[in-house]
A and B are shown apart, each in its own frame.
Chain A
Amino acid sequence: MSVFTEIWSILSTAFSTTEFYTMIIESTAPILLAALGCAIAAKANATNMGMEGIMMMSALVAVLVSSALGGAGVGPWVGLIAAVVVGCILGFLVSVFAFRLKIDIILVGIAMNLICTGASVFLMYSITGDRTTTTSLISGKLPSLSIPLIKDIPVIGTVLSGRFVLTYLAFILVAVLSFLLFKTKLGLRIRAVGENENAAESVGISSLKIKTIALIISGAFGGLGGAFMSQCYLAYFSSGLIAGRGFIGLAACTMGSANPGIICLCCLAFGIFYAISMFSQSMKLFAISSYALLALPYAIVLIGVVIYSIYTRNKELERLRGLDSEEKTEQNKAVE
């Protein structure tokens, strides 16, 4: 079988299966949460490289708190709140080290990831005695939500209804973050600080305060992303649970130029290719390596970032050219 016929068979089987579509949605959600978190930080001109660590730590805390409350009923919900709180605290710490102690924010992120990797495993082992997963704890999952009316529609109903609560929340948050960034006073100030700190300071806005708030919110998104992984995607925490989703979120944020709507599309694109690569693992393939397919979503992100860079560069060149001609027309006017 040739490569092309095999690609065709993967795609045709995938796109005609409903599980494939749910797979897309569920694998997009955590990355979307991470990317939105990175976006609000990016709008304040801060690279939240520590997203990976924040997700890791909050995923664990969600499990621990939930299991302490029995893992059922309100347990997972309190776990979710705890995860968000932990995310906020870690986001705040990043801002303290980066803006008050004046460390390069990328290095703060790297150190944060290191600390969170160590601390999550250390905590897990200290509490459960297990070094890889928390399966010995009963932490439960957040419920799925079936949506009336929609759930009765054939095919679409099974895809769109019955997803995890946090999945819906992730997509709702795209709109919420857009509103926050573009329609509120805080969003205006965040964008102003991110783009021209001096301008903001000159009208009496404290850039330190605004950046700190942005990173705390960024941490909260990370907390939601972490909770998604340990309370929706799986029902436990494991050391390799986050598996670079924070970094992919950062990449998606770069690609989407920190704009929630575009970020959502980028994450969906990643989700589609991720789902294809996952889906194909269950198929018998001959011409294409299923391992190489696993690299596909990452390659897509890489290509996406390159395309985005070319696009922004051309736009900038165009702008400069526009200015040049504007000057010349004005001169012509003067001559006349």
Chain B
Amino acid sequence: MNKEKKSLFGKMDVEARFGLMRMGVAIAIGLGLAVVLIVVAAKNPGESLKYFFAGPLQILNPAVKSGLAWNYFDLWIQKIIPLLFTGSAVCIMFSANKFNLGLEGAIIAGGLSCAWVCTLLDGDMLAANANPVLCVILGLGVSIIAGALVMLVPALLEKFFNASTMVTSLMMNYILLYVSQHCLFATSLRDAKTSKYSNQWTEDVVLTAKKFLGTDFTMRYGFFIGVVIVILAWAFLFKTKWGYKIRQIGQNPHFAKYVGVSVVSLGILVQVIGGAIGGLGGATVILGNYNYYYGIEMTGFGWDGVTMAIFSGNNPKKLFASCAFIAYIRAGAQIMATQPGGPISEMTKIVEGVIILFLLAEQFLARTHRKMIVAEAKKKQALKLAAEVNE
């Protein structure tokens, strides 16, 4: 059994093996750091560690009340959903080397425009009994357009004026934050009775089914939308000619130009697609959790996308595992934090940052890398020699 495993690992080429190893070491360092932080900060380290590492999977523990255990599990799923969207969006943009950081703004725009459509169709403004499914579909559709438009701005500013996408997209985030507050508080979107939220729409429109089929499980349809998006992003990047050209730009822009790829227009396209996915993600978050719009603060969703893209090496196929992992430690940390004396959940940010740095460091483990290559070369040479002797 052990031997077979080894041979499977041995079959991969050196680069893939080294990549896997480096990821393993980076994650081990990150989790090690997490353990240290918990031990230092927790009143009851044993208990805290248990919740951190096994919190979301308490459903497997018969001793815990099932309602609570399902809530813990649900927290995990809830945290995965936005990551699937932001991760896919940034994977596509980074594949073409586009450092557009405006995803945050696209998410706000998506959430807001979706809420606007829903209140218009379903709220008391039209007082009509709109079809909830139609409402959701229209809301999501509009959010896609809104997100795409938001990202188009920095992309076009770069194309026409050569303005740094990084800076303009960061500023767009703040502009959209305050524009959304304006829409929420100073327009007819606002619910006159409460001061915080928009008009409500009926529960039916919400993308979540609590007590699904009578169980304690909460069904989140947003998760499935997210999964579909990841699959589509993967298919787009790796199974279509456009995705192929986009990756060419990212791997070697000179080469892409030389074989006749239109580098500029595809660069704009990826940002528009990234924005569309971000917008859809924002709408899914709103529709999945609330039946009203609230002023989304800078939630860090945009930065999460960058984290996920780095974790998955710009390959959406690997997003499932990466999102599940990050969401798991975030959910675990949050569950841990709710226990008396538990450390604060923000520690996961430290862990994530440290893992990113070690994942990216070219020189980290460089000596091991070199050794692996030399060993491989020697092995090949030995095989060749043996073959020659046989002949």
Binding site for B on A (CB under 8 A): 47, 97, 100-104, 106-108, 110-115, 117-119, 121-122, 125-126, 131, 244, 247, 250-251, 254, 289-292, 294-295, 298-299, 301-302, 305-306, 308-310, 312-313
Interface centre among B168, B182, B346 (most CB of A within 10 A): B346
Pair B182/A111 contact, Cβ less than 8 Å: no
A102-B363, A107-B356, A244-B174 given as contacts; is B182 within 8 A of A117 (CB)? no
Contact A289 B182 (CB under 8 A): yes
| Bound Cα distance A39, B344 (Å) | 35
CA distance A104 to B181 in the complex (A): 35
Say yes or no for B29: interface residue by CB 8 A criterion: no
Min distance, Cβ A130 to any Cβ of chain B, angstroms: 10
Contact A122 B186 (CB under 8 A): no
- The reply to whether B350 and A115 contact each other, CB–CB distance below 8 Å, is yes
Note all chain B residues with C-beta closer than 8 A to A126.
40-41, 343-344
Whether A103 touches B362, Cβ cut-off 8 Å, given contacts A119-B350, A131-B344, A251-B170, is yes
A254 touches B167 (CB 8 A): yes
Say which residue of A103, A106, A298 sits within 8 Å of B171 (CB atoms).
Answer: A298
Q: Is the CB of A118 within 8 A of B348?
A: yes
For the complex, is B357 an interface residue (Cβ under 8 Å from A)?
yes
Q: A102-B363, A292-B182 are in contact. Are A111 and B166 (CB under 8 A)?
A: no
State whether A305 and B164 are in contact (beta carbons under 8 Å apart), knowing that A102-B363, A115-B350 are contacts in the complex.
Answer: yes
Contact B41 A122 (CB under 8 A): yes
Q: Is B175 an interface residue (CB 8 A)?
A: yes
A298-B171, A298-B174 known; 14 new pairs, CB 8 Å cut-off, are A106-B166, A107-B360, A110-B306, A118-B350, A118-B351, A121-B346, A122-B343, A244-B298, A290-B186, A291-B178, A291-B185, A291-B186, A302-B168, A306-B161
Q: Which residues of B contact A47 (CB under 8 A)?
A: 166
Which residues 260-279 of B have a CB within 8 angstroms of A? none
Residue numbers in A under 8 Å from B186 (CB-CB): 289-292
Would you give the shortest CB distance from B206 to chain A, in whole angstroms?
Answer: 26
Q: Which residues of chain B have a CB within 8 Å of any CB of chain A? A: 37, 40-41, 99, 157, 161-164, 166-168, 170-172, 174-175, 177-179, 181-182, 185-186, 298, 300, 303, 306-307, 310, 343-344, 346-354, 356-357, 360-364
Whole-angstrom CA separation of A229 from B168 in the bound complex = 25
Q: A251 to chain B: which residues have CB within 8 Å? A: 167, 170-171
Contact A309 B174 (CB under 8 A): no
Chain B hits for A113, CB < 8 A? 303, 353
Q: Which residue of B lies closest to A307 (CB)?
A: B161
A302 close to B162 (CB less than 8 A):
no
Q: How far is the CA of A101 from the CA of B357 in the complex (A)?
A: 9
B175:A101 contact, CB within 8 angstroms: no
Asked if A295 and B185 make an inter-chain contact with CB atoms under 8 angstroms apart, the answer reads: no
How many angstroms from the CA of A100 to the CA of B364 in the assembled complex? 10
Q: Please tell me if the beta carbons of B362 and A102 are within 8 angstroms of each other in the complex.
A: yes
Residues of A with C-beta under 8 A to B352: 114, 118
Closest to A114 in B: B353
Chain B: which residue is nearest A100 at the CB level? Answer: B363
> By the criterion CB–CB under 8 Å, are B350 and A305 in contact?
no
Cα–Cα, bound, A308→B361 (Å): 34
A246 to B74, CA, bound (A): 36
Enumerate 8 A-B pairs (CB-CB under 8 Å) in ascending A order. Answer: A106-B99, A107-B306, A114-B353, A115-B349, A118-B350, A118-B353, A122-B41, A125-B41
Q: Who on chain B is nearest to A298 by CB?
A: B174
Smallest beta-carbon distance A286→chain B, Å: 10
Residues of chain A lying within 8 A (CB to CB) of residue B310: 107
Return the contact of B178 from the options A118, A121, A292, A309 (Cβ within 8 A). A292
- Given A115-B349, A295-B175, A299-B175: A101 and B162 interface contact (C-beta under 8 Å): no
Closest to B363 in A: A101
Which residues of chain B come closer than 8 Å to A108, judged between CB atoms?
A: 357, 360
Kindly provide the distance from the CB of A2 to the nearest chain B CB, expressed in whole angstroms: 17
What's the nearest-Cβ distance from chain A to residue B367, in Å? 13
Residue of B nearest to A253 (CB): B167
* B175 and A118 contact, CB distance less than 8 A: no
Closest to A254 in B: B167
Partner pick for A111 among B300, B347, B353, CB 8 A cutoff:
B353
User: Which A-B residue pairs are the 9 nearest by beta carbons?
Assistant: A118-B349, A115-B353, A295-B178, A291-B182, A114-B353, A101-B361, A118-B350, A121-B346, A309-B163
Q: Report the separation of the CA atoms of residues A112 and B179 in the bound assembly, to the nearest whole angstrom.
A: 29
